[in-house]
Chains A and B, each alone.
Chain A
Amino acid sequence: MWKWLKKAEDSITRSIPAEEPPTRVFAELEKNILYFKEKLGASFDILYKQTYIGKNKAFLIMDDGMCDNLLVTEQVVAPIMDMREMPEEPEKQMAYIRDRISSGIDQKEDYSLDDAITDVVSGLVVLLIDGATFCEAFGVQGFPKRAIDNAQTEVQERGAQEAFVESFKDNVALIRRRVRSPVVRFELQEVGATSKTRVCVCYFADRADSKMIDEIKSRLKKAKLDMVLGTGYLRPFLESDVTSIFTSVGTTERPDIACAEMAEGRAVILVDGTPFAMIVPYLFAENFQSMDDYNHRPYYALFIRVLKFFSFLISVFLPGLYVAICTFHQELLPASMLYDTAVQESITPFPVMAEAIFIHFLYEIVREAGLRMPKSVGHAVSIVGALVIGDTAVSAGLIAAPMLIVVAMTAISSFVVSKIYYPVSILRFAFMIIGGLAGFYGIVLGFGVVLFNMCAVTAFGTPYVAPFAPMHIGALWRDSFWRLGWKTLGKRELQIHSLEK
């Protein structure tokens, strides 16, 4: 079966070609230009500008859309043209130019034509001189990008409002601006055979476990991917070996959260072209924490966290429990409630389990439609959904009113724990089915299985359910459901690897 599926998949795909050995820069300029044209084809955005530097023929190659033309003129072309007393030998000439032009940290020498091509498509201007066996690349990027905007998915009441953007360097700057200390490290790697996406591992050198950082870099290096267009592409390579419905790799779009995570010894991974950063290791308890918890007084943080935890329980278990109680354990309801529920459920044509699955499925459709549609249409979808489901279906006797209350409570609760919305919505369906088939017994067993699954996950040596199991009294006391005040919390920093088994 698996072999057949693999074969079927192979018939429509091909394996990612192995990386060819790099081609060195030729001494003959024509050969280099031919190589460039062969690799880049007839792309209209690649500009080849022939010129003479002294008596040597030279070429400036750049990607028009990726470079800032003004910078190219002011920082590269003009200084080269203005240079006097330049040596005649091509390689010395190149070194002379290199030593006199400074166009940012990206400026570098390339000895391989493949590296030079990557630089051109990354927005650098490459200078080739006839007779030189290396070329010079100048960082003059100027591609279009989105300005730094407010956070969309992690809205905070009192925290900073800035969010990461797609531009990689802006994101690094957002972190650097918050932590002006030499301990912050940004280590660059390239992932993706074709996309050659830049991935940056950020951490605090004095707090992150060096073994963990090495392991992260090694896993990223081993990631066999053709294209990397988002953080989700790399997540499976950073997750625990145990298949779990919850992820041990966190995501944030907020630079302040990224800094706070790094301060606890974690690593933050930025992927070029994505406004989200990954956090490793990420613990289950963090799904109930937010930056606002640290801006409010501790008692309010406790209240909010408990609220979130109960919302999580409601959003996962409430529909399943409702189905189980209505199907098998009616005696668990208080008498008056039992009477009302029984009357309502008796007029609907479907069994409770089918009704629950149907209505939740419908809700997910409405939610998905509202999410993907343009905002103006999204509102219309919500209104139609609310009218059709909320009013007409109940008055037509298709759905019982208590079921609608359950759906509403579940939906609102699941938005409170939006970080784990996706696993929660899947688990909800699973518990509805198991509640309808095996009642309360099935729900307890299902809870046990989920608990086992979560407890089996260990992310880079740190148990996913820490500090609850293994129980670390110090960490529980310091910052779990309860958090200490800043006068105490600020004196010492937590080190995530100290929670290891």
Chain B
Amino acid sequence: MKGSAKISVWQLFCVLLLSRLLSTLTFSPVGAEKINTSDYFPSVLFAAILIFLFSIPLFIQKHFFPGKDITDVAYTVSPLLSKASSISYVLCFLFFTLVSLARLEMFVGTIVFPNNDSALFIILCVAAACYAATLGIEAIGRVGTISLVLFVGAFLFIMITMADKVDPVNLSPVFYEGVKPSLTAALDAATRTGELAFAAVLLPRADGKMGKAYAAGLFAFTVCAELILFFVFAGLGDFALSQMFPVHAVAMLAEFSVFLRFDVLLTGAWILTAFIKISLLLYMQSELLQKSFSRKWNKLYVLCAGLLVLIIQVFFAGTVSDYYFAAGLSARVILYIVFVVAVPSVILVAALMKRRGKRAKNS
């Protein structure tokens, strides 16, 4: 593992964008709050604004503590706080790994292999992700860049081949039931996955100015999400709301000449993106464990995290993810607020106060 390796902020935001797009692909209206299809479009804009607001601690971290991740900042307050924050982030990332893996299992189990036992696929994925995580952040960054290009290419191809199936008549009027449904969907979209927490840990690994890359990432997310939702709802109409994976359902409409199944491209992009996200999460867990304990056992940490995820997912299949999704929006928002906003804010405020106190003492 290349502990001291660095990537550019553009690569970092490519990987984070890919991770967020995965959550858009796995968007499932089944079990979520029922809202009109068109209300999802403004919700993406609102979600972007919310993400920007939730990013404020990240900007503070980058500005006041350049070259330090959130656990390093916590170390300036107290080594114990650093360890506690590291372990809590490890648990948080472990949870996100389980959620990502559960979603992948659900997708593979229902779409790719409806009649097979999914344990083999989970084992393969975790084994591959463990190997990828041991290769370090440089490899993850580079694969993220290439995969983003493949992802966008696959999606554009599907959009082109199904353009004739898209009909704006399928869309319902915007804000028909007021702004509230859109705001609820926005909160759901913004808190579905914790890229800002990933960034708080990965920032010191990224070289370059964050502002432009961040803005480009947020803009790309908004455009991509709007496009994906437009094709889903203009292609399927209200039928999309009854689909477990509406993005895949709409991709099945794509056809060109005698070739009818271009959804396979989307399936490929989906599996690859999930694999990269799981690798990234395992890598971050290993990095944090190295900071808390010994740097010597980096590969062992990846292996342990992978095994733990595997055991939970294989033996308690669905349980963890089920309660995460069944717990509803409020539980997800709380988890998100705690790790993306509350914990970093508390640590940053404490670190800034300590720094000010030290300066006052010195002067």
State whether A455 and B276 are in contact (beta carbons under 8 Å apart), knowing that A328-B113, A445-B271 are contacts in the complex. Answer: no
* A241 to B, closest residue via Cβ: B2
Q: How many Å lie between the Cα of A281 and that of B66 in the bound state?
A: 33
A337 to chain B, nearest CB (A): 8
Q: How many Å lie between the Cα of A441 and that of B146 in the bound state?
A: 19
B143 at the interface (CB under 8 A from A): yes
Q: How many Å lie between the Cα of A331 and that of B259 in the bound state?
A: 11
B260 to chain A, nearest CB (A): 7
Asked if B138 and A447 make an inter-chain contact with CB atoms under 8 angstroms apart, the answer reads: no
From the candidates B135, B142, B261, name the one contacting A470 in the complex (CB within 8 A).
B142
Interface string of A430-462 (1 = CB under 8 A from B): 000000011111101111110111011010000
Q: How many Å lie between the Cα of A455 and that of B258 in the bound state?
A: 36
A468 to chain B, nearest CB (A): 6
From the candidates B132, B136, B259, B264, name the one contacting A448 in the complex (CB within 8 A).
B132
Q: How many Å lie between the Cα of A453 and that of B279 in the bound state?
A: 13
* Set of chain B residues within 8 Å of A445, measured between Cβ atoms: 124-125, 128, 271, 275
B131 at the interface (CB under 8 A from A): yes
State whether A455 and B264 are in contact (beta carbons under 8 Å apart), knowing that A441-B113, A448-B272, A449-B131 are contacts in the complex. Answer: no
Q: How many Å lie between the Cα of A456 and that of B136 in the bound state?
A: 8
Q: How many A residues touch B, CB cutoff 8 Å?
A: 34
Asked if A469 and B145 make an inter-chain contact with CB atoms under 8 angstroms apart, the answer reads: yes
Asked if A439 and B113 make an inter-chain contact with CB atoms under 8 angstroms apart, the answer reads: yes
Asked if A458 and B272 make an inter-chain contact with CB atoms under 8 angstroms apart, the answer reads: no
State whether A334 and B128 are in contact (beta carbons under 8 Å apart), knowing that A441-B121, A452-B135, A468-B146 are contacts in the complex. Answer: no
B317 at the interface (CB under 8 A from A): no
Chain B interface: which size bin?
Answer: 35 or more
Name B's interface SS.
helix
* Set of chain B residues within 8 Å of A441, measured between Cβ atoms: 108, 112-113, 121, 124, 271
* Set of chain B residues within 8 Å of A446, measured between Cβ atoms: 128
* Set of chain A residues within 8 Å of B272, measured between Cβ atoms: 444, 447-448
Tell me the B213-264 residues at the A interface (CB within 8 Å). 258-261, 264
Interface-centre pick from A445, A448, A455, A458 (highest chain B CB count, 10 A):
A448
Q: How many Å lie between the Cα of A337 and that of B260 in the bound state?
A: 12
Asked if B146 and A465 make an inter-chain contact with CB atoms under 8 angstroms apart, the answer reads: yes
Q: How many Å lie between the Cα of A441 and that of B104 in the bound state?
A: 11
A439 to chain B, nearest CB (A): 7
State whether A455 and B268 are in contact (beta carbons under 8 Å apart), knowing that A449-B128, A449-B132 are contacts in the complex. Answer: no
A434 to chain B, nearest CB (A): 8
A501 at the interface (CB under 8 A from B): yes
Asked if B128 and A455 make an inter-chain contact with CB atoms under 8 angstroms apart, the answer reads: no
* B144 to A, closest residue via Cβ: A469
* Set of chain B residues within 8 Å of A447, measured between Cβ atoms: 272
Asked if B145 and A471 make an inter-chain contact with CB atoms under 8 angstroms apart, the answer reads: yes
* B260 to A, closest residue via Cβ: A334
* Set of chain A residues within 8 Å of B82, measured between Cβ atoms: none
Q: How many Å lie between the Cα of A334 and that of B128 in the bound state?
A: 32
Q: How many Å lie between the Cα of A329 and that of B112 in the bound state?
A: 8
From the candidates B112, B132, B268, name the one contacting A452 in the complex (CB within 8 A).
B132
Asked if A463 and B142 make an inter-chain contact with CB atoms under 8 angstroms apart, the answer reads: yes
* Set of chain A residues within 8 Å of B6, measured between Cβ atoms: 501
Q: How many Å lie between the Cα of A482 and that of B271 in the bound state?
A: 30
* B6 to A, closest residue via Cβ: A501
Q: How many Å lie between the Cα of A335 and that of B260 in the bound state?
A: 10
Q: How many Å lie between the Cα of A348 and that of B267 in the bound state?
A: 31
Q: How many Å lie between the Cα of A188 and that of B181 in the bound state?
A: 75
Q: How many Å lie between the Cα of A442 and that of B143 in the bound state?
A: 18
A42 at the interface (CB under 8 A from B): no
Q: How many Å lie between the Cα of A328 and that of B112 in the bound state?
A: 9
Asked if B271 and A332 make an inter-chain contact with CB atoms under 8 angstroms apart, the answer reads: no
* Set of chain A residues within 8 Å of B271, measured between Cβ atoms: 441, 444-445, 448
Q: How many Å lie between the Cα of A439 and that of B8 in the bound state?
A: 35
* Set of chain A residues within 8 Å of B138, measured between Cβ atoms: 455-456, 458, 463, 501
Interface-centre pick from B113, B125, B138 (highest chain A CB count, 10 A):
B138
* Set of chain B residues within 8 Å of A468, measured between Cβ atoms: 145-146
* Set of chain A residues within 8 Å of B139, measured between Cβ atoms: 452, 455-456
* Set of chain B residues within 8 Å of A437, measured between Cβ atoms: 120
Interface string of A294-309 (1 = CB under 8 A from B): 0000000000000000
B7 at the interface (CB under 8 A from A): yes
Interface string of B135-177 (1 = CB under 8 A from A): 1101111110111000000000000000000000000000000
A225 at the interface (CB under 8 A from B): no
B10 to chain A, nearest CB (A): 8
* Set of chain A residues within 8 Å of B10, measured between Cβ atoms: 471
* Set of chain A residues within 8 Å of B258, measured between Cβ atoms: 334-337
Asked if A470 and B112 make an inter-chain contact with CB atoms under 8 angstroms apart, the answer reads: no
Q: How many Å lie between the Cα of A410 and that of B113 in the bound state?
A: 27
Q: How many Å lie between the Cα of A444 and that of B120 in the bound state?
A: 15
Q: Which 5 A-B pairs have the closest CB atoms?
A: A469-B142, A455-B142, A456-B139, A456-B135, A334-B258
23 contacts between A and B (CB under 8 A): A329-B264, A334-B259, A334-B260, A335-B258, A437-B120, A438-B124, A439-B113, A440-B264, A440-B267, A441-B121, A441-B124, A445-B125, A448-B275, A448-B276, A449-B131, A449-B132, A451-B146, A451-B147, A453-B135, A455-B146, A470-B7, A470-B145, A501-B8
